[in-house]
Structure 1
Amino acid sequence: MSDSEEMEIKCPRCGAQQKATVWKKLDPASDQGIKEALFGWQINIFNCGACDLRAQLPVELLYTDTAKGFAVQFYPMDDLGCDDFYKGFRRDGEPVEATDSPKPHIVFDMAEMMRYIAFRELAYEKGQ
């Protein structure tokens, strides 16, 4: 099941505060249209009503396709500069905590997340 919450976000350009939906987890098997929203750049995108800034929110996002048995985890590039980020990983790059879902493929770019999802869906459909 997908998971989101409404948060107050301050525009980095003009400083105006407004509510935005922040998605933490996406599951296309249980939420119709969520994959299309992701591929349409509508997930975790901030649109400032005051100055028209459109920007990606720097938040972690897990995409788990339970029907097709794969997961992909997005981390913002800025996380790589935080020492605390690495406390969640072993030296081999694997997460410290196991999840109930399939082991996630880790990416640091939203476009790469979408490319990986497209690849896995086509492999599921056309692979052996």
Structure 2
Amino acid sequence: MSMLQTVEVTCPECSVTQKMSVWTSVNVKADPHLRDEVLEQRLNVFSCGQQGCDYRCPLDISVLYHDMDGKFCVQYVAKEDMKNPNYYRHLSKQGVVMVPHLAAQMMEKTGGHYIRRPHHVFSMKEMLLYILFRQFCEAYGRDAGDEPSDDGAEGG
């Protein structure tokens, strides 16, 4: 499920405070248009609505990117969250998302276990690159268990 949150943003250019909706979680199966927002780096970008002010900038907001078809999650951790001990309250010392035992069992049975181990990134550019990497793996990679051929044609 994708999640929106409303925040107040003060424009650094004209000092007008405005409300803006930001995404804190993006599920690209439920909301496929958000994949393009992330890939084109338009997600959570502030654009001042004040007449005559053209200020635009990305907001540093933690966001989870969830691709159910690709079975992976990427968690961008904003700089402020990285320093906030409260951010870590649902993470183990190994960075695994802590969930109740019953929920963990259900995730395992339904193939959703990957949700507990998101790939953590520390810039939106890094998130973009990881998503592209996973898309290339999906398009060109091998299925687990496939053996490379011995004909020498695999190398590069």
Aligned length: 128
- In the aligned structure 1, how far is the partner of 2:139 from the partner of 2:75? 22
The answer to which structure has the higher helix fraction is 2
SS of corresponding position for 1:115 = helix
Aligned ranges 1:86-105 → 2 under 5 Å: 86-97=88-99, 101=112, 102=114, 103-105=117-119
Shift of 1:57: 1.4
Over the matched positions of the two proteins, sequence identity in percent amounts to: 31
The answer to which structure has the higher strand fraction is 1
Rg (Cα) greater in structure: 2
**TM-score under structure 2 length normalisation:** 0.70
**TM-score under structure 1 length normalisation:** 0.83
Matched, 1:106 2:113: no
- Larger displacement relative to structure 2 (49-58 or 38-47): 49-58
Shift of 1:97: 4.0
Q: 1:84 to 1:3 in 2, by over 3 A?
A: closer
Match in the other structure for 1:47: 47
- Larger displacement relative to structure 2 (53-62 or 5-14): 5-14
Matched, 1:120 2:134: yes
- Larger displacement relative to structure 2 (51-60 or 78-87): 78-87
- In the aligned structure 2, how far is the partner of 1:53 from the partner of 1:35? 24
Give the CA RMSD over aligned residues: 2.2
